[in-house]
Amino acid sequence: MSELLLYYQRPEPATWVFLSSFLLIGIFFVFHRFFCIRNLDILLLILLAPGLMMVYEGRKMRLSEQSSVATSDSLAVGGHPVGHRWPPQTTHYVSLNLQSNSLPSSPPSSYATDSNEWQASTVQFYGFLSLLIACGLLMIRMLVDQALVRRPLLEPNLNIGGLSFIGISLFLFLMANIVTSSPREQQESSPRLGPGYALLNMLPSLPTIPDHASSAEWPGRPTNGAQWLPNVARILAIVSNLAIVIGIIGVGYWHFDNIKTGIGCATMYLMLPYTAQMNGNLEHTTPAALLTLALMTYRQPMFSGLFLGAAAGLVYYPLFLLPLWFSFYWHKGIRPFLMGVSISLLVLVCLLLIHGMSAFTDHLRWMFGLWLPMMEGLSGIWGEDGLQAVFRLPVLVGFILLSLSFCFWPIRKNLGTLMCGTAAIMLAAQFWHGYGGGLFMAWFLPFVLLTIFRPNVDDRVANKVVGAKWFSRHVSSPV
Condensed to tens digits (0 to 9), the pLDDT of residues 119-163 reads 888 899 999 999 999 999 999 999 999 888 888 888 899 999 999
- Residue with more model confidence, 220 or 327: 327
User: Tens of pLDDT along 45-70?
Assistant: 999 999 999 998 888 887 776 666 55
* Amino acid 194: pLDDT: 58
Closest residue by Cα to residue 46 from 28, 33, 59, 31? 28
| Residue 22 Cα to chain centre, angstroms | 22
Look at residue 135 and tell me if it is in a domain. yes
* Amino acid 27: pLDDT: 94
3-state percent breakdown (helix, strand, coil) of the chain, nearest 5: 65, 0, 35
Does the structure show a pLDDT above 50 at 187? Answer: no
**Alpha-carbon distances of 406 from 431, 445, 465, rounded to whole Å:** 19, 20, 20
Reduce the DSSP state of residue 353 to 3 states and report it.
helix
**Cα gap 150→142, rounded to integer Å:** 15
Residues 276 and 55 sit within 8 Å (Cβ to Cβ): no
What integer is the mean pLDDT of 335-357?
A: 92
What integer is the mean pLDDT of 27-45?
A: 92
Closest residue by Cα to residue 49 from 123, 127, 139, 119? 127
User: Vertex 317, ends 396 and 276: CA angle to 5°?
Assistant: 115
Look at residue 266 and tell me if it is in a domain. yes
Does the structure show a pLDDT above 90 at 15? Answer: no
**Cα gap 360→358, rounded to integer Å:** 6
Residues 194 and 440 sit within 8 Å (Cβ to Cβ): no
Q: Across all residues in the chain, what is the average pLDDT?
A: 82
Residue 152: is the preceding peptide bond cis (ω within 30°)? no
Does the structure show a pLDDT above 70 at 378? Answer: yes
What's the domain count of the chain?
1
Q: How far apart are the first and last CA of the chain?
A: 57
Q: Which of 210-214, 308-312, 382-386, 435-439 has the highest mean pLDDT?
A: 308-312
- Residue with more model confidence, 475 or 213: 475
pTM of the model: 0.85
Look at residue 88 and tell me if it is in a domain. no
**Cα gap 277→272, rounded to integer Å:** 9
**Cα gap 405→91, rounded to integer Å:** 73
Look at residue 94 and tell me if it is in a domain. no
Q: Which residues contact 319 (CB under 8 A, 6 or more apart)?
A: 312, 368
Look at residue 3 and tell me if it is in a domain. no
Q: Which residues contact 286 (CB under 8 A, 6 or more apart)?
A: 200, 236, 240, 311, 314
**Cα gap 443→317, rounded to integer Å:** 10
Does the structure show a pLDDT above 70 at 191? Answer: no
Q: What are phi and psi of 205, to 5 degrees?
A: -85, 160
Does the structure show a pLDDT above 80 at 2? Answer: no
Q: How confident is the model at residue 477 (pLDDT cuts 50, 70, 90)?
A: very low
Structural domain span for residue 26: 13-71+114-465
Reduce the DSSP state of residue 435 to 3 states and report it.
strand
User: Tens of pLDDT along 217-238?
Assistant: 433 444 444 677 788 889 999 9
Residue 207: is the preceding peptide bond cis (ω within 30°)? no
Does the structure show a pLDDT above 70 at 325? Answer: yes
How much of the chain exceeds pLDDT 70, in percent?
A: 76
CB-CB neighbours of 478 under 10 Å: 7
Look at residue 189 and tell me if it is in a domain. yes
Q: How confident is the model at residue 246 (pLDDT cuts 50, 70, 90)?
A: very high
Look at residue 479 and tell me if it is in a domain. no
**Cα gap 218→230, rounded to integer Å:** 13
Closest residue by Cα to residue 248 from 445, 417, 472? 445
Q: Which range, of 188-197, 205-214, 259-268, 455-464, averages the lowest pLDDT?
A: 188-197
Q: How confident is the model at residue 12 (pLDDT cuts 50, 70, 90)?
A: confident
Reduce the DSSP state of residue 394 to 3 states and report it.
helix
Does the structure show a pLDDT above 70 at 100? Answer: no
Look at residue 471 and tell me if it is in a domain. no
* Amino acid 385: pLDDT: 81
